[in-house]
Amino acid sequence: MIKGFPCRKGCGILRKKKTWRCPVRFDSFDHLLSHFALTTPDAPALRHEKTTLSFRALDETVRKRAEELRAGGKSCIGLLCDGSLDNVIEIFAASLAGLQIVLLDASLPSDVLKSLMRYTDVDLLWGDEELCDELSLALMAGVKDGKGKILFFTSGTTERAKAVVLTDHSLCQSAYNGSAKLPLSPEDTLLCMLPLGHVFGFVCGLLWGLSCGACVALGRGPRHYLDDCDFYRPTAVSVVPLLLGFLVKQRCINPELKLVLVGAGDCPPALLRAAGAMGIRISFGYGLTETSSGVAISVEGDPYAMEICPDDTITLAEDGEILIEAPSCMMQGYYKRPDATRAVLHNGVFHTGDLGRFDEEGKLHITGRKKDVLVLPDGTKIFLPEYESALMQALGHTELAVTLKNNRPILVFSGAAEKEKLQEKLREVMRTLPRGQQIADILLTDEPLPRTATGKIKRWELQQKVSDNA
């Protein structure tokens, strides 16, 4: 438990006397930048490599770039996110300039990126010059009503991924909710190692720190995972379970690092024990792209027991499904997908497809998933109906399913077949996916797949069978 004293405004925060301050609720990126440019102008806001920008310099640079974007006459910018200082500046500047923003994963195949650009009406690209040139033929005519919209993709695994419409307001409210439960101080340095194109990385790797007046150190990419902690000396970091496992296994955690926020996937107890043995405090966060990231977070004690964030209301359906009301953080909807929006958002209540329970203290525990989705250790989601449909079409066979083995997707194929021939047929489908989302192995079986009375695959039973055969 953090020693300190309670906030007089009643938010329940305990802070050390020297660094205590009640978190500020920002309405927009503009509000956040101008606030710290006025109150702590010379404090460090962002670090990348050997460059440090103060809050005043960040504010001035963003506003200058916003003017340039306004003069350009474009309406929808696609950002090929690389996590750099310029990347952050461009996001903030595009927001202040009133452009619709689409955050794209530059590691995706170019044909998938082109499809996503067409779907979201991108008329301006930012990123690697060579890649921008390659994608330029997919530029569209832009939009008329995109001001304030920031689009994150739910998975990024296929060209059918849904774009979630958020705003700088909803993202700032999410950052406030997180900092109200787990505040940082201006003396903290938050290391951002996660992709800015994913909402967890953007909110918990960037906005969380900036909204607390802390310095955010922008990670230098996967090649520097081993030495970023030593280089930046952070006091806090947000990670997915796979990255935490890497940092712990390689013992590349600096002594100043005391707080790790884990999200976007399951974390094995053994990993928690190993991190705890290094003197690190672990907090879990639960949230979705549709809720602008976190809605619940563990503060003390059991890291699996999470407190609900201030603006959010969570209830459980009769079958245990987690239902969320988050008026300040909820998405506007799925871009150009009103039917998909109506399927999950009913009268302001988001049906997550996740299963949970409340303990005797009213804390939320995640117990499983209702919907057909695999969550990989890096937080990426594979939506199985679409994924398996593509495999069925490629193989001309319907008695198959995808599950996880050693945290990698594998194909379970029921029927007579030769593995080599199946792999050859799958090659074209796998070419369109990032390496981590490709089928790692094929398990042949002459037994029928376990199904319910209505013909749906029993995912848990299938997973158990694969685990038993490992």
Residues 103 and 138 placed together within one structural domain of the fold:
yes
When mean pLDDT is compared over 17-21, 310-314, 448-452, the highest value belongs to 310-314
Rounded distance between C-alpha atoms, residue 463 and residue 350, angstroms: 28
| Structure-token pair, residue 343 | 């399927």
Residues 360 and 410 placed together within one structural domain of the fold:
no
How many CB atoms neighbour CB 382 within 10 A? 21
pLDDT tens profile 91-129: 999 999 999 999 999 988 899 899 999 999 999 999 999
Question: How many independent structural domains does the chain possess?
Answer: 2
- Average pLDDT (445-464) is 74
pLDDT at 17: 40
- The SS3 assignment for 369 reads strand
Rounded distance between C-alpha atoms, residue 402 and residue 382, angstroms: 10
pLDDT at 452: 57
Residue 415, domain extent: 373-468
Residues 354 and 405 placed together within one structural domain of the fold:
no
Residues 324 and 458 placed together within one structural domain of the fold:
no
pLDDT at 9: 38
Nearest CA to 76 out of 1, 169, 141, 11 is that of 141
pLDDT tens profile 135-192: 999 999 999 999 999 999 985 333 357 899 999 999 999 999 999 999 999 999 999 9
pLDDT tens profile 40-86: 999 999 999 999 999 999 999 999 999 999 999 999 999 999 999 99
Query: Percentage of the chain surpassing pLDDT 70?
Result: 92
Residues 285 and 145 placed together within one structural domain of the fold:
yes
Mean residue pLDDT of the chain comes to 88
pLDDT at 3: 30
How many CB atoms neighbour CB 455 within 10 A? 6
Rounded distance between C-alpha atoms, residue 184 and residue 192, angstroms: 14
Contact assessment for residue 339 and residue 351, using Cβ atoms and an 8 Å cutoff: no
The CATH number of the domain holding residue 451 is: 3.30.300.30
pLDDT at 458: 75
pLDDT at 455 over 70: no
- Please, which residues bridge with residue 301 across strands? none
pLDDT at 393: 84
pLDDT at 264: 74
Of 209-218, 287-296, 459-468, least confident by mean pLDDT is 459-468
Residues 181 and 153 placed together within one structural domain of the fold:
yes
